[in-house]
Structure 1
């Protein structure tokens, strides 16, 4: 690439797009990269302030911004994403389906630590809809060293930097505990909330059992759902530390391994996450899920639906950003709840 006087540019090839902006009228590309400058182009170029032009000189050690942008796109993409056209060294990525958007934050930060390039994304573990914008990549200068882009590929490695995990069809079983519900003293208003939230992630509640507060009955209900082959078990009620709240103990007695009883999230501190030996997840939901618009359940469920294994460290990390402000108009997930830096 070399800089020449615009008056001397006839016959030369532009190495970048040239934008024309007319306030309140037009903003667009007047001349595209690769355009061969003609005599009649000179007055137009001068009128938009281009007294000098960068024209392309092929150099095997340099890449044009658009060529380099393709490399950034390649290290980001997976098969469930679509893309924009390449323009001025920039490519945007979009969701090709509903799913959980996952970012390898460490590798993202490593690439963004390099000069003259950037990748901006949504937060990791973010549930998205088909068509949502996921990320944007940009090469800052007009040309960049090929060696630097080779380093990007090395840092990124063979796995995509970004993933979009679709929600496969799953079946859930729900155990509602509480003598007050079992004996009909109050209406069950918890289960409809859970069923609705499950359905948002392609999970159908196919089994529902209501039991009283007796430990043996809760254990029996959980085991029966497990034997019926559901993909996920959700238990509601009896999740506090009161002596007559026996659901956490029943979940453990049913044979599930407890990942954590308790999470640094409000609302949702009394949440329980566990797994059976075959990998079937089981969750104990605190009462806040019944009435709060966004809780720990909304943070964990998309990950479970996408097939991610929840570990204790995943719940621990939720403490940073895990305080819901209880806004009068809830905008979750378009807010900071559950999104630590």
Structure 2
């Protein structure tokens, strides 16, 4: 139960919630914190903040204070790799990554959770690379007093997630093998530019390139090179070139000959429509089309971190990248701090 009283009649009672003070360009925060025992000396300050009345709270059976509710729902939302460590303020809790990795959000369950109205959770985009200590979400109970049955229902929805609503998956360090295909490069007709591009992308996520092979448009040679690299211990195989509809582009056919499975070719992302993902003897294989030479960011940059986080990419995953999959080719690229891939 919430009772409204004149501030003079609240003297001697603890504040039910933080009283916020805003000084333009200087300060925004609590002038008085929840639990502060009000005294006569506080009255003038409260009046300057526009407060003539305050709440006195006497929670009834079946009601929870906003801060208590926030702790319960935060615990229900957090999975592996995320947590909270600061006391709730005004019913709000910040949720942070406890390790480096890839943020995963169960968006469907999050939407259902937010459908209650009296509770909320705002997150960063799923599949965002984060560092330990980064804020990944914030949750709060919105009313000062909230019905316990609503909190229980929201918790039940959060717990219905197959894994967790929020988690951060560590990414393994790549030991990459790189196959650069194309007879024009193999026979020295043109200079290769792809190797430096791939090395930069691999090392940016703390991986290393173990081996690089240059190959002509020959199914058998490409297949044998791919199998050799897998036998040498690479844990991700990256191929460049040979991905278009040209009859001389043989890479994906060669990988099939080598035994690659679950070959997914084609994506609804520009640049990167001719991207390929598959697996060879359990090692993920990513095929970058020629656009990777001149476009800083392509479909590869959206899928590669997910591979390192252990995702098993499906056709449904590929299809979902179409929403937000148009790169605007900005003069100064700000990826990942832009709309591409989100």
User: Which interval holds the TM-score relative to the shorter structure?
Assistant: over 0.9
Contact 2:77–2:159 (8 Å) recurs in 1: no
Are 2:320 and 1:317 aligned? yes
Secondary structure in 1 matching 2:79: coil
Separation in 1, partners of 2:258, 2:25? 67
Aligned to 1:151: 153
- CA drift of 1:184 comes to 2.6
**1:218-259 per-position Cα deviation (integer Å, ceiling 9, x unaligned):** 111011111112111111111111111111100111101133
Secondary structure in 2 matching 1:40: helix
TM normalised by structure 1 equals: 0.94
Say which is worse superposed, 33-42 or 267-276, in terms of deviation: 33-42
Which of 289, 293, 296 is the matching residue for 2:292? Answer: 289
- CA drift of 1:291 comes to 1.6
Contact 2:18–2:32 (8 Å) recurs in 1: yes
Structure 2, unaligned runs of 5 or more: none
- Cα distance change, pair 70–271 in 1 and its aligned pair in 2 (3 A): same
Contact 1:13–1:56 (8 Å) recurs in 2: no
**1:155-183 per-position Cα deviation (integer Å, ceiling 9, x unaligned):** 11174211111212231111111222222
Are 2:147 and 1:142 aligned? no
Secondary structure in 2 matching 1:249: helix
What are the equivalent positions in structure 2 for 1:291-306 lying under 5 Å apart? Answer: 291-306=294-309
Are 2:191 and 1:190 aligned? no
Separation in 1, partners of 2:103, 2:152? 26
- CA drift of 1:85 comes to 4.0
Structure 1, unaligned runs of 5 or more: none
Separation in 2, partners of 1:237, 1:198? 17
- CA drift of 1:79 comes to 4.1
Separation in 2, partners of 1:4, 1:274? 67
Secondary structure in 1 matching 2:69: helix
What are the equivalent positions in structure 2 for 1:1-341 lying under 5 Å apart? Answer: 1-83=2-84, 84-157=86-159, 159-276=163-280, 278-339=281-342
Separation in 2, partners of 1:75, 1:29? 27
- CA drift of 1:326 comes to 1.0
**1:292-339 per-position Cα deviation (integer Å, ceiling 9, x unaligned):** 011000010010011111011100111121111111111111111111
Aligned residues: 338
**1:120-142 per-position Cα deviation (integer Å, ceiling 9, x unaligned):** 11111122234433112122211
Secondary structure in 2 matching 1:265: coil
Contact 2:82–2:166 (8 Å) recurs in 1: no
Say which is worse superposed, 83-92 or 291-300, in terms of deviation: 83-92
CA RMSD of aligned residues (A): 1.7
**1:257-281 per-position Cα deviation (integer Å, ceiling 9, x unaligned):** 13311111111111111113x5311
Separation in 2, partners of 1:26, 1:338? 36
